[in-house]
Amino acid sequence: MDGGILEPSLYSVKAIAILDNDGNRLVSKYYDDTFSTAKEQKQFEKNLFNKTHRANADIIMFEGLTCVYKSNVDLFFYVIGSAQENELLLSNVLNGLYDAVSQILRKNTEKRALLENMDAVFLAVDEICDGGIVLEADPSAVVQKVAIKTDDISLGEQSVTQQITRKIEVLQSAKEQIKWSLLK
C-alpha cells in the first residue's frame, strides 16, 4: 500500500473564523491543537488576513493548511482544513456558513449586524461543525435549527431587548383581550 495515501476521516475542518476588515477576530472556533494557545491562533489569523485581504483567489495553501475564504463588505469568512483536505468540501462548508449568517443577519452581512446577533452566529457555527466534523452545510437547515434554539432559551438567558419585546407582546395581547371584553 502506498504510504502517501491517508485514511479518510470525518475530522475535516481544523478551524472556522470570521474576521473584520482589520483582521481582528469576531468569531473563531478551532477544532484541533494545531494552534493550541489563543496567542498562536490570533497570530495565525493576522497572518492569514494579511495574505488574503487583497487576493482575488478563494482558496490558498497557507502554513501547510488549506484555507478557503470569502469576503463581504467588512467581514472575512474562513474555513481551514489540512493540506490533504478536499477543497470542495471546505468550500461547501464555507458557502453554507456564509449563506446561513447572511440569512440570520437578514442579508445585512456586515460587522455591526454580526456583533448584534453574535449568539445566533455562534449557534450557526456549532450547527455546521462539531469537533471538526461537518454536521450540516445546508444554510436553510442551519438557520432553522438556530431559530428553534433561540426560541427555547430560558427567560434568564435572553437579552434585555428580547425580554422587553416579549413583555410588550404580552401587554398588547392583554390590552386586546380587555378591549374585547369591554365591547361585549
> HEC profile for 137-164?
CCHHHHHHHHHHHHHCCCHHHCCHHHHH
pTM of the model: 0.75
Please choose, from the candidates 118, 86, 104, the residue with its C-alpha nearest in 3D space to the C-alpha of residue 20.
118
158-171 pLDDT, tens digit per residue, is 566 666 766 677 77
User: Which of 16-20, 55-59, 111-115 shows the highest mean pLDDT?
Assistant: 16-20
Least confident of 66-70, 88-92, 110-114, 161-165: 161-165
Contact residues for 94 (Cβ-Cβ < 8 A; gap 6+): 68, 69, 70, 77, 78, 79
107-137 pLDDT, tens digit per residue, is 878 888 888 888 889 999 999 998 888 888 8
pLDDT confidence band for 91 (50 / 70 / 90): very high
pLDDT confidence band for 18 (50 / 70 / 90): very high
pLDDT for the residue numbered 48 = 92
pLDDT for the residue numbered 179 = 72
pLDDT confidence band for 147 (50 / 70 / 90): confident
| Ranges assigned E (strand) in the chain | 15-20, 25-30, 59-62, 65-72, 75-82, 129-130, 133-134
